[in-house]
């Protein structure tokens, strides 16, 4: 593992924060100090925006295929550094290294490769208008983009923000979570190595209420792209009003995962486990509400609980570990608090609901895979727990299943398991969610738009939709015949 970068990246230089503060970054497995990174405050954000604005004219004017070539080189560099990045991500987040190696790093590489190839594929259009006139629409980069990335998938989410923004010709000021900044800083080093010009990407490691707030309100930033909680998203919208900047929000979720009576039960059990226990359930699209037909609920729960109890918890760096610790002690306490909420409202704890026994587990931020039976209106069925915590609900009819699935304020992801193709399409169409998975869950790809509706936010990551999100349309009119309008003739 290479030496850790701990400074801010501003204008191509690695620097300390203006105020000289630092932020402690701990290993969630044992509480050990990983690093102390420079703390960015509002003054540092101002310097980063200034650098990004200075770099924008040349970067946006660079031939699109050249921007794409640099992103492809970055993808190659990440792939070459895969072992180091996977270890760094596992230590910083608690995510099992087997998942970092097989999912996080490959998905990050794929994202930069996709948008590297997309850079010169963004086309304009010609609009049929009045005779004698040509009207064409081209798409231009916004300018400086402020990106704020959460702590649950920092490496991958950094690529989701920077890939399309850079491909479209924008420059960036990005703030990783103060809890998990290390992989983003390493990406900054790799960007320099492959020749991405100084100032195009600026990295500020700071707290949300200072650095994040300044990004949201800064008049020199043309767009903010944020992934995180719904409450913070609302704060960003208010802060952005000062210069009416464009805002893209990927917020919370309370994913419904419906199991119909005709489902392939073993497949649904395995899929439901991945939906909620992958990355310790710390995913906005997690299938955190299992909605099971009452005819199969007993069989399903027997299998599902057995599987949950068999999941291997442990050191994220151990290749045999299937579930690591939650990413922080504060978040561990928050997740465990919902166990008491469930009990107070009459819920049944089927399994889990506690920190596992043992000294190794006591030092880390662990929570056992937790299954709770509750009612649709209970808090654990309405609020985002964001941990290895799944609420089980039952239904009898398709309409009842839909009513339960759509009965929250969120609308990010949802899944369903059935062998009836007609039902699958009908239910998918009526689910209030930006993404629906049929007989699978949590599938993502850089070519497929990712985002939600309702309190899960607006705008889309990835695909052509993301390129549009990071550009603005410009309509150009040409008087082809060079005729003088009648009311100007003399």
Cβ contact 96:316 at 8 Å: yes
Cβ contact 6:36 at 8 Å: yes
**Helices 64-80 and 105-118 meet at what angle, rounded to 10?**
170
Strand runs (DSSP E) across 236-355, as ranges?
246-250, 256-259, 289-293, 348-351
Rounded CA gap, 449 and 470, in Å? 13
Q: Provide the annotated active-site residues.
A: 250, 284
Helix (H, G, I), strand (E, B) or coil at 405: helix
Rounded CA gap, 329 and 388, in Å? 15
Match 């402020």 to its residue by tokens: 146
- What 8-state DSSP symbol labels residue 211? I
Q: Is 286 left (phi over 0), alpha (psi -120 to 50) or beta?
A: beta
* Antiparallel, parallel or unpaired: β 256-259 and 22-26: unpaired
Task: Give me the residues paired with residue 394 across strands.
Answer: 292
Rounded CA gap, 365 and 51, in Å? 39
Rounded CA gap, 208 and 110, in Å? 29
Instruction: Work out the number of other CB atoms within 10 angstroms of the CB of residue 274.
Output: 14
Which residues fall within 8 angstroms of residue 87, CB to CB, at 6 or more apart? Answer: 1, 97, 100, 317
Rounded CA gap, 155 and 167, in Å? 18
Please give the biggest Cα pair distance in the chain.
Answer: 94
Cβ contact 316:90 at 8 Å: yes
Rounded CA gap, 243 and 240, in Å? 6
Q: List the one residue out of 89, 84, 114 whose CA is nearest residue 99.
A: 89
Query: Which pair of tokens denotes residue 275?
Result: 């939906």
């Amino acid at each position: 593992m290479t030496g850790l970068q701990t400074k801010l990246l501003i204008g191509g230089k690695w620097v300390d924060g203006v105020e000289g503060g630092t932020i402690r970054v701990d290993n969630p497995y044992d509480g050990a100090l990983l690093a102390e990174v420079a703390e960015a405050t509002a003054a540092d954000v101002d310097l980063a925006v200034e650098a990004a604005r200075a770099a924008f004219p040349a970067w946006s004017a660079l031939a699109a295929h050249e921007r794409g070539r640099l992103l492809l080189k970055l993808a190659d560099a990440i792939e070459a550094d895969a072992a180091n990045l996977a270890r760094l991500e596992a230590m910083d987040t608690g995510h099992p290294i087997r998942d970092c190696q097989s999912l996080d790093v490959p998905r990050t590489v794929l994202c930069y490769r996709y948008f590297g190839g997309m850079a010169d594929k963004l086309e304009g259009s010609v609009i049929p208008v009045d005779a004698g006139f040509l009207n064409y629409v081209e798409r231009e980069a916004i300018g400086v983009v402020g990106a704020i990335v959460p702590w649950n998938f920092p490496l991958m989410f950094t690529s989701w923000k920077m890939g399309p923004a850079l491909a479209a010709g924008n420059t960036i000021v990005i703030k990783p979570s103060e809890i998990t900044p290390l992989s983003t800083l390493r990406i900054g080093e790799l960007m320099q190595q492959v020749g991405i010009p100084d100032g195009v990407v600026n990295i500020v490691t700071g707290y949300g209420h200072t650095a994040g707030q300044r990004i949201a309100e800064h008049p020199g930033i043309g767009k903010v792209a944020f992934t995180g909680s719904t409450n913070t998203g609302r704060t960003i919208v208010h802060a952005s009003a000062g210069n009416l900047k464009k805002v893209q929000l990927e917020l919370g979720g309370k994913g419904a995962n419906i199991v119909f009576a005709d489902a392939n039960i073993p497949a649904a059990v395995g899929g439901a486990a991945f939906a909620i226990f992958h990355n310790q359930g710390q995913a906005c699209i997690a299938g955190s509400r299992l909605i099971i037909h009452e005819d199969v609920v007993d069989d399903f729960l027997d299998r599902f609980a057995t599987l949950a109890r068999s999941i291997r918890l442990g050191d994220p760096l151990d290749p045999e570990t299937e579930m690591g610790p939650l990413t922080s002690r504060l978040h561990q306490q928050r997740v465990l608090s919902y166990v008491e909420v469930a009990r107070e409202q009459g819920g049944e704890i089927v399994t889990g609901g506690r920190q596992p026994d043992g000294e190794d587990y006591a030092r880390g931020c662990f929570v056992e895979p937790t299954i709770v039976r509750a009612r649709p209106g209970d808090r654990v069925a309405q609020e985002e727990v964001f941990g290895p915590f799944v609420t089980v609900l039952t239904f009898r009819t398709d309409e009842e299943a839909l009513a339960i699935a759509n009965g929250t304020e969120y609308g990010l992801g949802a899944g369903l398991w059935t062998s009836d193709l007609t039902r699958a399409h009908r239910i998918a169409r009526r689910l209030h969610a930006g993404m629906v998975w049929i007989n699978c869950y949590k599938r993502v790809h850089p070519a497929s738009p990712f985002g939600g509706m309702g309190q899960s936010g607006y705008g889309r990551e990835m695909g052509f939709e993301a390129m549009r999100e990071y550009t603005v349309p410009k309509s150009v009119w040409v008087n082809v015949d060079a005729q003088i309008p009648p009311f100007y003739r003399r």
